[in-house]
Amino acid sequence: MMTSSGPPTVETIAKVAGVSIASVSRVINGHGARPDTVRRVERAVAELGYVPNAVARSLKGGRTRQLTFAMPDIGNPTYVSMVRQIQAVTKPLGYRLLLHSTDAVAEDELGVVRSLAERTSDGLILCPIRVTDAHLAAMEAAAGPVVVIGSLPEGAPVDSVRADSVSGVVLAVRHLLETGRRRIAFINGPADTVPGHNRRAGYHKALAEAGIVPDPALTETTDFGIEAGAAAAHRLLAADPAIDSIFCANDQLALGAAHAAQDRGLDIPGDLAVVGMDDSELARAGWPLLTSVDLGSAERGRIAADMLVSRLAGGDAPPGSPVRSETVAPRLVVRASSAVPA
């Protein structure tokens, strides 16, 4: 094996493989070569641990053929469904998709936007759950196109696709009221986030439409996680045994709430109805199956990808064209967790 004072290059691969530099370039870039040449180059690449330099490629050709998707939680099934659809749009066009989990940290999100100037990626799809003035300024000044999956203030400088989660919550709470529930508790995520704010607004709107005054004692605000949902449900049910239903701001919280109810010996849906939001894979992973509001996560991912590649291709949305904004309508998926009690 050859040794070198620096990282392996196309030249060192050519020497190890015993082929020309042009042959190495053809193999690495997928332009075809004789089978024997391909095998020798691939063996040399593996032996030397060569990694193509995306930055150098972008400086030469103007594009990296890579896109970035930055989300708060890479383990959340909602974002996994978005990834599948984004890749379904971009992969056939020759793009690789880079995934980045920001943990909903603003500075991390801003860093991803600013990193477009380093030309390691041609464009970015970003899912922020908090949107600050710094976000808007960074996106407006970004070195490449940015598309946001989420709600933005009026006049925001980037393309976006959002879910109508306020209407989605109204559908869920209205469904619980129609099945005879009246003591409807609410487990929400952080209220200072866009999803938390919108879900709270929907809950209050639905109760107001039914002539019910919201009871602060029926609302728990916590993190968007299964364990947080279980802990919040335990607190609510211990404080008020008359609660007959719980609406949760996402499926993770709802799954946790269902676990808490079962721990307390409650029958779902006989004693307690549980409804989630997102209609993720989690809604179909437990028992009973979870009623949930489908916010079109896959569709939002597809639309965001279409927006981004349109900007890059200069087609329907070339650079400098008016900002695009779309909204995906919610849909209530009723399952066993909120069936009408006997």
Residue 183: how many other CB atoms lie within 10 Å: 16
Asked if the structure places residue 58 within a domain, the reply is no
User: Same domain for 210 and 315?
Assistant: no
Residues 146 and 171 in one domain: no
Span 78-107, pLDDT tens digits? 999 999 999 999 999 999 999 999 999 999
Tokens 């995306």, residue located: 54
86 and 73 assigned to the same domain = yes
pTM of the model: 0.78
Give domain status of residue 2, yes or no.
no
Residue type at position 95: Y
SS3 of residue 188 by DSSP? strand
Does residue 1 belong to any structural domain of this protein?
A: no
Q: How many domains does the chain have?
A: 3
Domain co-membership, 288 together with 195: yes
pLDDT at 285 over 70: yes
Give the residue among 202, 45, 66 at the shortest CA–CA distance from 125: 66
Tokens 């437990």 belong to residue: 286
175 in any annotated domain:
yes
Q: Does residue 200 belong to any structural domain of this protein?
A: yes
Alpha carbons 186 and 194: distance in angstroms, whole number: 17
Same domain, 41 and 82: no
Please tell me the predicted confidence (pLDDT) of residue 59.
45
132 within a domain of the structure (yes/no): yes
Range of the domain at 208: 165-295+332-338
CA distance 288 to 293: 16
Q: Are residues 286 and 307 in the same domain?
A: no
Give residue 66's pLDDT.
94
More confident: 1 or 304: 304
Strand order in the sheet with 273-277: 219-221, 184-188, 245-248, 273-277, 291-294, 331-333
Q: Is the pLDDT of residue 24 over 70?
A: yes
Tokens of 281: 């894979």
Give the C-alpha separation, 78 to 250, whole Å: 10
The per-residue pLDDT for 202 is 97
CATH number at residue 189: 3.40.50.2300
Q: What is the radius of gyration, based on Cα positions, of the chain?
A: 25
Higher-pLDDT residue of 270 and 25 is 270
**pLDDT bucket at 58, cuts 50 / 70 / 90:** very low
pLDDT cut 90: percent of the chain above it: 71
Tell me, yes or no, whether 114 and 204 share the same domain.
no
CB 131 within 8 Å of CB 150? yes
Same domain? 17 vs 75: no
105-152 residue pLDDT tens: 999 999 999 999 888 899 999 999 999 999 999 999 999 999 999 999
| Residue type at 178 in one-letter notation | E
Tokens of 122: 């041609």
Q: Are 234 and 159 contained in the same domain? A: no
Closest C-alpha among 195, 193, 189 to residue 256: 189
Instruction: Examine the pLDDT at 195 and tell me if it is beyond 80.
Output: yes
Say yes or no: 231 and 170 in one domain: yes
236/301 same-domain check: no
One-character DSSP codes across 119-140:
TS-SEEEE--SS--HHHHHHHH
Q: Looking at the structure, tell me whether residues 152 and 174 fall in a common domain.
A: no
**pLDDT average, residue stretch 200-226:** 95
Is residue 261, in this structure, part of any structural domain at all?
A: yes
Alpha-carbon span 187 to 269, nearest angstrom: 17
Residue of 322 and 170 predicted with greater confidence: 170
Phi, psi of 291 (to 5 degrees): -65, 135
Using the CB atoms, write b or e for 113-138: b if 16+ within 10 Å.
bebbeebebbbbbbbbbbbeeebbeb
In-domain check, residue 203: yes
